A and B are shown apart, each in its own frame.
Chain A
Amino acid sequence: MFLAGFRGARVVLGVARRRDRRDALQQGDPMAFELTPERRAIFDELLPKYPTRQALTIPLLHLCQEQHGYVDASVIEYVAKTLGVTTAEVQGVVTFYTLFLQEKPGRNVVWVCRTLSCELMGAREITECFEKKLGIHPGETTKDGEFTLLNAECLAACGQGPMIQLNDTYYENLTPDQLDGIIEQAKKRRDDRVKASFSPVGLRTHRDA
């Protein structure tokens, strides 16, 4: 009985939340997400290359994440509306793929490869050094919002382990004494044009290539 009541309450809350969001969107929510015209132009170029609009789900999410920094409800609404699919379908995609961040990350994202070839060469020590230097564990963001530390599964650089991916750049054959320099350099990065630290579809890949 208790459980049933509990679940009922959650359902009611969920419906209310969804209704709020829908109303907010209809009233021109100030938080509603829109792609910038330059990014929208990339989307418009990609669109005729696929037979369905839904095929653009992943490329469009990458574009949005490059602009917004992560994927939240406003992005999901925007993608669903743009592609003519349900928010549930978009959410299903967002939660499936590792690269879509569902919480706001730090300005710099450090992915330390933890898989076998890298771990054989000392990836564990690299992770521990980052933990010490940044004061956070994998999965966390520093208080000043500068760094998010994450563990990555094999990044296809097995011959150059241990390695990290800092934003969209690979650093290979790492030793612990190199980390201070890498951290300092990342702090100095001033790249206001692009919010997300990393995106395979976006201004940096499609316009700078």
Chain B
Amino acid sequence: MPVEQTRYLTGNYGTPDSWTLAAYEKNGGYQSLRKALEMGPEWILEQMKAANLRGRGGAGFPAGLKWSFLKPNPEKPNYIAVNADEGEPGTFKDRTLMEKDPHRCVEGFIISAYALNVHTVYVYVRGELVLSIKRLMRAVEEARAKGYLGDAIMGKAFPLDIVVHAGAGAYICGEETSLLNSLEGLRGEPRLKPPFPAVVGAFGAPTIVNNLETLATVPTVVSLGGEEFSKLSRLHHIKDGGVRLYGVSGPVKRPGVFEAPVGITLRELIYDLGGGMRDGRTLKAVIPGGSSTPVLRPEDLVHAPDEKHPLHAWHGKSHIDVPMGVDTMRGLGTMLGTCCAIVMDDTTSMVRAAENLMLFYAHESCGQCTPCREGCAWMARLCRKFASGTATRADLDTLYDVANNIMGNTICALGDGAAMPMLGILKLFRGEFEAAIGKKAPHLGGPA
């Protein structure tokens, strides 16, 4: 049976002028805020824990648990920094929320601020997303005029301001501590942890950094109740709850963003929601959740004969038939990431794909740690050699060596995020690199 799309987060997407307060309220908007104010902060925190809401930004950390780490400092205010610096290649889900349903985001921010005793929320949006920024600003002003934020929330004395802050084009600013530095007006270089942002974050104050989709999901958690929300997921039993946005891009018939329960499979995402491969092509490989997650092949089967193995239920099945969850994908040696899959068909040169991705990381490394700054550019140069047919066998060893020497040797995860997909591609498609020695690899996207 084809997977059904759900409409908890995206129900307002098709409404005319969906970004206005009038349209949002007509569809029941801001009722969750009303309920949250009645029930109080303790209740909201409990629901967030019961919701098993795993962070939607890529790392998949339980949001309720993260909230419980907030350590108030008597001399400083608490902050929320919303991470809307959507820049992971292949990922385009948060932009739809900001453009089509900014009031859902704002309602989520207000409820979260109320629950965490935060009086200033900074929304860090990618500078490129001008329309998203405009829509969010407009939504904040409309909510302020209506008395949903400002000196009081719906008449309850609780001063709250939401500040939309534009970034200026740096992928690294999606890393939480780098985002905080950027917010403070510095170069976006990640900080060493600990201290974690929940203790020392923005402007030295305790800060909760959450992905935009995570917070836009909060109104649904409040309206359904945490437990009910979690049960919408197919992976409720392993504490991966709710519904979420999926994206699929590349040569499929219907690329786009879809909402569905947590735990659908890559096959369902590609063939049911994405409509299957276009132009009679076949699926060669899929990057499950943004470019930093290692690639999977449909012909690889799960090997988990041991009954205690977390993936035993899918023993013998294809990798793309395993439900997409934070822990299940980790079990396959990849990551769930942002749940936005990049699909590659049988005409795709994996050497060229690796070259494309490594050029991205070489451009986006912040330059702070030597292994990443030098290593990403080195991997890009080596991939370029393979793509142009000028590489030697020794270059293949160097490629492994460079990637392995980035892993775990940097302050933040960008270096790992470059080395993991590189090693992943080498593991599954080493043959293509060997074949590319002395032979130019075909370009992506057709003949050129």
Mark A residues whose CB is within 8 Å of B: 46, 49-52, 54-59, 61-62, 83, 85, 89, 92-93, 96-100, 111, 114-117, 119-125, 128, 152-162, 165, 168, 170, 198-201, 204-206, 208-209
Contacts and interface: CB of A to CB of B under 8 A. Distances in A.
B53 interface: no
A116 B133 contact: no
A151 to B, nearest CB: 9
Contact of A154 (B90, B133, B165, B185): B90
Given A115-B357, A209-B135, 8 more contacts: A59-B166, A92-B187, A115-B360, A116-B360, A119-B445, A120-B249, A121-B250, A154-B360
Nearest to B203: A51
B1 interface: no
B87 interface: yes
Given A116-B356, A159-B257, A58 B170 contact: no
B187 A55 contact: no
B169 A115 contact: no
Contacts, number: 184
A201 B95 CA distance: 18
A156 B126 contact: yes
B288 interface: no
A121 B166 contact: no
Contacts of A111: 128
Interface in B75-127: 86-92, 94-95, 120, 125-127
Contact of A115 (B89, B126, B182, B187): B89
B129 interface: yes
Interface in B306-361: 340, 342, 344, 348, 353, 356-357, 359-360
Contact of A52 (B131, B185, B257): B185
Contact of B342 (A85, A96, A117): A117
A123 B356 CA distance: 12
Contact of A62 (B126, B168, B287): B168
B92 A159 contact: yes
5 contacts: A115-B360, A120-B249, A153-B364, A198-B130, A209-B138
B127 A62 contact: yes
A165 to B, nearest CB: 7
Given A153-B360, A206-B137, A98 B169 contact: yes
Contacts of A62: 127, 166, 168
A156 B92 contact: yes
Contacts of A162: 445
